A and B are shown apart, each in its own frame.
Chain A
């Protein structure tokens, strides 16, 4: 009844090719973005920013990057943590070593360094795919772990190996309060998400998907696999690098290499799988799920345990998290390989018909 496309005829290719062709969708997304900028800061507490919104935004950004590589271009990557690390440490070095370096520029430079790292460790994708490529990306992960642990220059010779940043400001505004941190992350996310969505629906996006679906046929119609794959690595690593820099600067404040370990890589991959591969929306769904789940478990499991008279320790909660993640991954891969995003679009399809059955 509400969600009908009736009467929405497109009279030009431009309008047909829009990001959100259905008017209701467009209004909904604009409302959500407006709410995110205006309503959320008014209603949320510092805790909600710190525990939920800021990690959600940054993880969504990272998952977006991973989705471009894994979901759109079909190159499996278990080294996303390393790209985040490179982004974070590179941004740190630019910020700390170059006097007067603006924060945003440092973030972009961090992303570019991560891009270069991504291209380098993406080279094996020209030779191998699937599991073999996964192993190559793990090499990137472990190499990066070692690099930031042992090479003192990267950490500005910090004695304990951990680094920190402070005194962040953008265009004269201090980024100290949770609200300002939230708004900064939100702005960067919206901009990069828009750019990513544009890329994904233009020629390069089609190249990526062609390589994912059938690389031999892609070569025959004139798509260069090397360019497509390396550009996917480059762009995806840029986004992941910026996310990593944000993670370190904004969310953590101070960090050491272990913050970007292989566990983070797996988490990002799970976000993409659960959220939906090959879908920009999917990144948000996946990140939301993975950020919310531990918090939800933390609240509910002890309650559940009390009901059955079992004491659940924090270790028990984190184990349950593992069990649920694992089971969900398998469940999604069996039932709906396209993840929550597909379930969402099926829901929208049903909504189109509502209240009629078909």
Chain B
């Protein structure tokens, strides 16, 4: 396994605070993500991990703080702009397009790259036809990569949960993102499925150099595949460093295991 080169900071989260009415979901969170690394975000349930990703994606707007991507700072992110900038996302609760097949779901990830306008699409000749085929080929590569060839025409609503998670990943990969935000990609999976998913994530990271930000509960996975870890608890950051550093952090231990241990 070639050692990968971890680059400079590509994504920087500065003093983000987010609240819903009276509930403070995130309080003054700051951390950075380096290019090509696998950054894990861990913490007990309700710590605000998904909310953090939602802020990066522009789904939520933080009341305070800014997010810097490749040197450009934003006080709030616009979902469309985030996608254009090359940040892809999977969701904890899937958010797949249940009425469409696997191919179509992953094809939606290619949307930003499709240039032909409505008229050409309606006529479906020449450039529009070639574009469809080209993107179909790219999607097929992803389907091969994720080993879901047998299900490509099935409506995703009919697939088992584990396969749906792969389609979610495939859709994000179709965007050819520079940064991939994964929200509990291995939730609800058994050991074998988790190993498969880990393999996919690592392959994406190593082959394409995609930076991965990963929310995950399985400590084994986190310790094994991540380069650095951020720990959140009740919306605050309580740990930041390599897996070993975080593992031995007092605060983290008490947050996860409770005091008195």
Smallest Cβ-Cβ distance to A72: which chain B residue: B99
How many CB-defined contacts (below 8 Å) exist between A and B? 103
Report the interface size for chain A: residues with CB under 8 A from the other chain.
Answer: 31
Is B104 within 8 A of A206, CB to CB? yes
Min CB distance B169 to A, Å, is 12
Is A213 within 8 A of B99, CB to CB? yes
Please indicate the chain A residues that have their CB under 8 angstroms from the CB of B132 in the complex.
Answer: 13, 17, 202-203
Is B121 within 8 A of A198, CB to CB? yes
Is B141 positioned at the interface, with any CB of A under 8 Å from its CB?
no
Is B96 within 8 A of A217, CB to CB? yes
Q: Which of these binds chain A: B43-51, B111-119, B218-226, B236-244?
A: B111-119
Is B122 within 8 A of A221, CB to CB? no
Measured in the bound complex, the distance between the Cα atoms of B79 and A347 in whole Å is 42
Is B133 within 8 A of A17, CB to CB? yes
Is A195 within 8 A of B112, CB to CB? no
Is B104 within 8 A of A214, CB to CB? no
Is A210 within 8 A of B118, CB to CB? no
Min CB distance B144 to A, Å, is 14
Min CB distance B10 to A, Å, is 19
Is A221 within 8 A of B99, CB to CB? no
Give the residues from 99 to 128 in chain B that come closer than 8 angstroms, CB to CB, to chain A. 99-100, 104, 107-112, 114, 116, 118, 121-124, 128
Measured in the bound complex, the distance between the Cα atoms of B124 and A196 in whole Å is 11
Is A222 within 8 A of B123, CB to CB? no
Measured in the bound complex, the distance between the Cα atoms of B129 and A116 in whole Å is 28
Is A222 within 8 A of B100, CB to CB? no
Is A217 within 8 A of B175, CB to CB? no
Please indicate the chain B residues that have their CB under 8 angstroms from the CB of A278 in the complex.
Answer: 99
Is B57 within 8 A of A14, CB to CB? no
Is A221 within 8 A of B175, CB to CB? yes
Please indicate the chain B residues that have their CB under 8 angstroms from the CB of A224 in the complex.
Answer: 80
Give the residues from 31 to 63 in chain B that come closer than 8 angstroms, CB to CB, to chain A. 57-59
Known: A195-B123, A216-B59. A14 touches B129 (CB 8 A): yes
**Contact flags (1/0) for A25-65 with B, using CB distance below 8 Å?**
00000000000000000000000000000000000000000
Measured in the bound complex, the distance between the Cα atoms of B118 and A198 in whole Å is 10
Contact pick for A213, options B89, B100, B124, CB 8 Å: B100
Smallest Cβ-Cβ distance to A226: which chain B residue: B80
Measured in the bound complex, the distance between the Cα atoms of B123 and A267 in whole Å is 30
Is A207 within 8 A of B129, CB to CB? no
Known: A17-B133, A198-B121, A199-B122. A206 touches B107 (CB 8 A): yes
Is B111 within 8 A of A223, CB to CB? yes
Min CB distance A179 to B, Å, is 29
Is A212 within 8 A of B99, CB to CB? yes
Min CB distance B51 to A, Å, is 14
Contact pick for A204, options B59, B89, B118, CB 8 Å: B118
Is B234 positioned at the interface, with any CB of A under 8 Å from its CB?
no
Is A222 within 8 A of B83, CB to CB? yes
Min CB distance B128 to A, Å, is 7
Is B108 within 8 A of A223, CB to CB? yes
Min CB distance A77 to B, Å, is 18
Contact pick for B122, options A16, A198, A213, A223, CB 8 Å: A198
Measured in the bound complex, the distance between the Cα atoms of B108 and A149 in whole Å is 44
Contact pick for B80, options A207, A214, A219, A231, CB 8 Å: A219
Measured in the bound complex, the distance between the Cα atoms of B174 and A70 in whole Å is 28
Is B136 within 8 A of A221, CB to CB? no
Residues of A within 8 A of B (CB): 12-14, 16-17, 195-196, 198-199, 202-204, 206-207, 209-210, 212-214, 216-224, 231, 235, 278
